[in-house]
Structure 1
Amino acid sequence: MTADDDQPSRGSQLASGEAELMYARAALAESAGHTDELLDALPGPQERSPRQRDRAAAALDATRTLRAAFMDAHTDAVYDELTAGRTRRPRLAELAEAAATAFPGLVPTADRLKAERALPQAGKEGHEIDQGIFFSRVLRSSQAGPHLIDTLLTPTPRALALLAEFSRTGTADLGSVRLDRDAAVARLTMCRDDCLNAEDNQQIDDMETAVDLALLDTGTEVCLLRGGEMTHPRYRGRRVFSAGINLKSLHGGGISLVDFLLRRELGYLHKILRGIRVEDGAGWRGTTAEKPWVAAVDTFAIGGGAQLLFVFDHVLAASDAFLSLPAAKEGIIPGASALRLSRAAGTRLSRQVILEGRRIRATEPAARLLVDEVHETDELDLAVERSLERLRGPAVVANRRMLNLAEEPVDAFRLYMAEFALQQALRLYSSDVLDKVGRFSAAGRASPR
């Protein structure tokens, strides 16, 4: 058979694949449309009778089964259509919005998500679970997944717009994060003193912008993250690193799967670890700009605050500080901690911290698996400066790159995040989480968990 003889067969296969996708797309849109009509005709989730809840759950489950099967069969075709054959790089929210338009019923529309954002978490239908199905399949793909991971290492438009001004002045006030360059050190200070640096959607945006600026700035050699001084009555005048996820925002429906939980892990945390993408595959020296990172923990690093430490090159803590990952108490998954904490601390301690909520105080022996140096509060500032100076060596960046590659290959992270996208979406709308965030909100956030 000649090459020409083979062409009709290839053309027939291509046509068959396109036809299959077309029919599957139509079937998904029809099923999702019927489910949406049913849900819209029912009272809100909190007002439904047991029979109505069963009807809604059965319809949602059937349509989600179809969504998962659709993505299992057509992930690469879907992603190629949304990215023009992987020539465009939409970010998470843009990709989800494009999918809602191009593939009706695959993920919730922007209007439906906007309506849900106005509701408390317990009053939502849980349409973000459909985004979890979508992103889990995209990240699992050996073609689409690496492209999306690379896309999310690119600078944000906000950072690019602020870069020239920051490079000139060496300062940027981003709202919940303050950025100052001093003697080639980019100092990021978390300054949400109203909530002890508990993170919400806005702080994720501010943090990624600050990380981008620090990595892009040619005058910066090393980066430092630290909590600012608080005005909270219990901690007035003291630095606090982070109280983790803002449970009040979670209860109020303000914590997004895409803009918070996925963007946080795939965005600024991964950039701290891996660097920021500065070229589109053309540079023979490499396509990322990296810097060494130091973290200084004052008072406590809870939840997401502790997760941050696992991607830093050097961690210092005050002697009265503690670390914790209260995942069992909150009912959600602590980011990539299962991937990174086990590597640093071993399986037994990781299970004690993640499953049982064990706190690690800076002065106990177990803390040395997570923290490099512990100092009295009045000695911490000087110790931080010494660590910054040590990490300014000319070979530090190349060696940290090789260490990070050996410890956490990109594909291992990608496949972890594929499962995380689905499991975290399910946890967001589980009955125990909805009950817990309500109680946390009622109790307030006057003290750390």
Structure 2
Amino acid sequence: MTAPEAVATAPVLSPPELTGHDLRRDAAALARFVDAGRASLAPLPEPVDRSPGERELVRAAHAAGNALRTRFLRAHIGAVYAELTDGRSRRHRLDDLLPAAAEIFPGLVPSAAELAADRSRTQSEKDGHEIGQGLFAGAVLGDREAGAHLLESMLHPTRRAEELLPEFRRTGTLELGAVRIARRGSAAELTMCRGDNLNAEDAEQVEDLETAVDLALLDPEVRVGLLRGGTMTHPRYRGRRVFSAGINLKRLHAGEIPLVGFLLRREIGYIQKLVRGLRTGDGPADTVTKPWVAAVDTFAIGGGAQLLLVFDQVIAAADAYLSLPAAQEGIVPGAANFRLGRVAGARTARQVILRGRRIHASEPEARLLIDDVVPPDEVDAAVDDALHRLDAPAVVANRHMLNLAEEPPDAFRGYMAEFAVQQAMRLYSQDVIAKIGSWVGRGA
């Protein structure tokens, strides 16, 4: 019997008992168990070359490791987070917190080597190490004190935005790659400019959108923000503006849509900043918020439709439509499940999210999601009017109070705690992998 065959038939190791109160003893037990599991799987070939038995062994070993991680996190997440942040005196973004957790608590989250190996694979060939990251993020967010601290930490400006701010203030315009930002009067106009792929979302666009939102909020000359899709070079919509086609399914199929860098970052990064504003310090007056307008041309699909739920005014061309096909894709549509029912009602939310109902701007029910529906050639004028009306002294304070009442921070924290776990699991479910493979094969 060869070594791989021997490993493939070996039983999964039994997890140790945890004390539930001794952090160091339990951390050591977790590390030993995870290390033993890694050693047992090391002789296996790459995922694409594994036999069905070997794939089942890997699945069972990872499930056992994640189950022990979950037990450990339930018992110790408060103490773990306190150690990682020096008693919550230091601000770490989630993507900085995870490597620190891997170093200080070995085995608690995937190692850098495991994540690097998975990044080189398509989604169907990954080992699913990101699930461990989702469990950790969910546990942090599920703890009232740790979760609130992390969410506030994510509201601070990114280093990239701070470095680019002097240039933006001087020139009033920046090309960030997937997003262009330009100051016009008191408004910052953010244009999604991925004309070749209909502004389909990926990690680069999330990075650029967060940078642009930070710049708009940091610049004292800006008092109101606008988000709009640019003019397309895509053959099907060449010369037309498009808001967003949602998640980039080709990138997802290729394994290039990360849980932390895309799916979690967009929700607790720039989208949360659109709602809550930017934290420039830890004092009660150290938050900068501004009103935001969205203008929808042609369509807002998936993540594009999710975005509209946080804007203060939404303008749409009469020939545009909205849809949230995440359930058909097999994933969770961000925080839409949290927000859409409040905006459009429970029945409409279920029709849109569970059944894939498309809402056209021209139908009466669209007014639950869109403030102004105008002919396509009048969108520019409607945008100018909206920016002017929202540029008023009392708007900022009142939008802050509206957002506080409609979306209490603790309720958002609780939703995101569950989202982190559920979305991580969905990314690696067989139905999602089969669907995205089929859609990409058809050229979707």
TM-score range, shorter chain: over 0.9
Query: What is the Cα deviation at residue 110 of structure 1?
Result: 1.8
Per the alignment, residue 326 of structure 1 pairs with: 325
What secondary structure is seen at the aligned counterpart in 1 of 2:38? helix
Per the alignment, residue 280 of structure 1 pairs with: 282
Equivalences for residues 20-419 of structure 1 within 5 A = 20-281=22-283, 283=284, 286-419=285-418
Per the alignment, residue 13 of structure 1 pairs with: none
Q: Which moved more, 1:399-408 or 1:323-332?
A: 323-332
What secondary structure is seen at the aligned counterpart in 2 of 1:294? strand
TM-score (norm 2): 0.94
Amino acid at match of 1:193: G
Q: Which moved more, 1:328-337 or 1:42-51?
A: 42-51
Task: Encode CA deviations 1:133-175: one digit per residue, 9 max, x unaligned.
Answer: 1010000111111100000000000000001111111111100
Query: What is the Cα deviation at residue 62 of structure 1?
Result: 1.5
Q: Which moved more, 1:111-120 or 1:415-424?
A: 111-120
Structure 2 contact 131–421 (Cα < 8 Å) conserved: yes
- Distance in 1 between the 2:181 and 2:63 partners? 46
Structure 1 contact 107–131 (Cα < 8 Å) conserved: yes
- Distance in 2 between the 1:427 and 1:26 partners? 30
Query: What is the Cα deviation at residue 366 of structure 1?
Result: 1.3
Structure 1 contact 100–109 (Cα < 8 Å) conserved: yes
Q: Pairwise CA RMSD of aligned residues?
A: 1.3
- Distance in 1 between the 2:81 and 2:134 partners? 15
- Distance in 2 between the 1:438 and 1:46 partners? 15
Query: What is the Cα deviation at residue 90 of structure 1?
Result: 1.4
Task: Encode CA deviations 1:302-332: one digit per residue, 9 max, x unaligned.
Answer: 0000000000000000011000000122110
Percent of residue pairs bearing the same amino acid type:
61
Query: What is the Cα deviation at residue 381 of structure 1?
Result: 0.8
Per the alignment, residue 437 of structure 2 pairs with: 438
Structure 1 contact 38–56 (Cα < 8 Å) conserved: no
Amino acid at match of 1:41: P
The change in CA–CA distance for 1:342 and 1:18 in structure 2 (over 3 A counts) is: closer
Task: Encode CA deviations 1:47-72: one digit per residue, 9 max, x unaligned.
Answer: 33332233222221221111001010
Query: What is the Cα deviation at residue 19 of structure 1?
Result: 8.0
Amino acid at match of 1:273: V
- Distance in 2 between the 1:54 and 1:190 partners? 42
Query: What is the Cα deviation at residue 18 of structure 1?
Result: 11
What secondary structure is seen at the aligned counterpart in 2 of 1:143? helix
Query: What is the Cα deviation at residue 279 of structure 1?
Result: 1.6
- Distance in 2 between the 1:35 and 1:323 partners? 46
Per the alignment, residue 426 of structure 1 pairs with: 425
What secondary structure is seen at the aligned counterpart in 2 of 1:226? strand
Amino acid at match of 2:37: T
Deviation above 6 Å: which 4+ runs of structure 1? none
Amino acid at match of 1:376: P
Task: Encode CA deviations 1:18-48: one digit per residue, 9 max, x unaligned.
Answer: 9811110111111111221233222333433
Amino acid at match of 1:151: S
- Distance in 1 between the 2:89 and 2:440 partners? 44
Query: What is the Cα deviation at residue 407 of structure 1?
Result: 0.2
Q: Which runs of 5+ in 1 are unaligned?
A: 1-16
Task: Encode CA deviations 1:357-404: one digit per residue, 9 max, x unaligned.
Answer: 010000011101100010110111101111111101110000000000
Query: What is the Cα deviation at residue 87 of structure 1?
Result: 1.2
- Distance in 1 between the 2:60 and 2:72 partners? 18
Task: Encode CA deviations 1:337-368: one digit per residue, 9 max, x unaligned.
Answer: 01100100111110010001010000011101
- Distance in 2 between the 1:218 and 1:443 partners? 48
What secondary structure is seen at the aligned counterpart in 2 of 1:234? helix
Per the alignment, residue 8 of structure 1 pairs with: none
The change in CA–CA distance for 1:377 and 1:112 in structure 2 (over 3 A counts) is: same
- Distance in 1 between the 2:215 and 2:294 partners? 17
Query: What is the Cα deviation at residue 108 of structure 1?
Result: 0.9
Query: What is the Cα deviation at residue 181 of structure 1?
Result: 0.2
Structure 1 contact 344–370 (Cα < 8 Å) conserved: yes
Structure 2 contact 329–436 (Cα < 8 Å) conserved: yes
Amino acid at match of 1:122: S
Per the alignment, residue 12 of structure 2 pairs with: none
